[in-house]
Amino acid sequence: MLQRSEALDAAFTELLGSVHLIKSPRVQVTESICGIAIEHGRSIRALIASGHPTSATALLRLQFETATRAVWLIYTGSDEWALRYHAPAGQAPVKEPDTPSMTEMLDSIRERAPPAVFISLNAFKAGSWKAMNSYVHGGIHPFIYMQHGYLVDFLIQTLRNSNGLSGMAAMVFAMMSGDAGLARSVREVQEAHLDCFPPLNI
């Protein structure tokens, strides 16, 4: 699964690496956030490969929140909000601009995005949120696995979930290009690597 996940990432990189986006404030912020989500996915793979599954699983929550923010931006964001995101860059200390909560983002995605996008994100949150929080805060889930070891099936599912979030970020990136053919190509890459994903709803 690690090898297949690396191949998936390489396919996305080859497809999207030379795409030049119009640098509106919203697109620039969304592009960066997509890049962060994909970087988190690469880090999850590296941590699992090097024998650090607890840290990898904790990072899955960061990737989920980042990918959700990218989707929220592409479907409901505005240049006005993105300009507020840019404004603190030169300030010290840096202050986070007012941003909806995760629940509010998902509500907006439900209202404005294709239904399958909301279904995928909401299902992930409903099924994993408590466990992800447990990993982030050193709760009972990582304790149990540290005591008894990690099942291979659990690690494979973690990789698949992470790949799904990276794939969502790649699709957001393709959508920002305005090139319908590029979005189709991202879909084709996903379909060629179905074994790397949880069941796809987007």
Using the 8-state DSSP alphabet, how is residue 195 labeled?
Answer: G
Asked if 68 contacts 128 with a C-beta cutoff of 8 angstroms, the reply is no
Q: Quote the CA–CA distance of 185 and 39 in Å, as a whole number.
A: 21
Global confidence as pTM: 0.91
The tokens of 105 are what? 């983002």
- For every one of its 202 residues, what pLDDT tens digit does the chain have, with 9 covering 90 and above? 999 999 999 999 999 988 888 778 888 899 999 999 999 999 999 999 999 999 999 999 999 999 999 999 999 888 888 887 776 556 666 677 788 899 999 999 999 998 989 999 999 999 888 888 898 998 999 899 889 999 999 999 999 999 999 999 999 999 988 888 999 999 999 999 999 998 754 4
The SS3 call for residue 10 is: helix
Domains of the chain in start order, with CATH, are 2-16+23-85+99-196 (1.20.120)
Predicted confidence at residue 9, as pLDDT, reads 97
Predicted confidence at residue 89, as pLDDT, reads 57
Predicted confidence at residue 87, as pLDDT, reads 65
Predicted confidence at residue 202, as pLDDT, reads 42
Asked if 190 contacts 153 with a C-beta cutoff of 8 angstroms, the reply is no
Predicted confidence at residue 110, as pLDDT, reads 95
Predicted confidence at residue 53, as pLDDT, reads 95
Asked if 201 contacts 123 with a C-beta cutoff of 8 angstroms, the reply is yes
Asked if 187 contacts 197 with a C-beta cutoff of 8 angstroms, the reply is no
DSSP 11-56: HHHHHHTT------HHHHHHHHHHHHHHHHHHHHHHHHHTT-HHHH
Backbone conformation region of residue 92, classed left if phi is above 0, alpha if psi is from -120 to 50, else beta: beta
Matching residue, tokens 């697109």? 27
Predicted confidence at residue 92, as pLDDT, reads 60
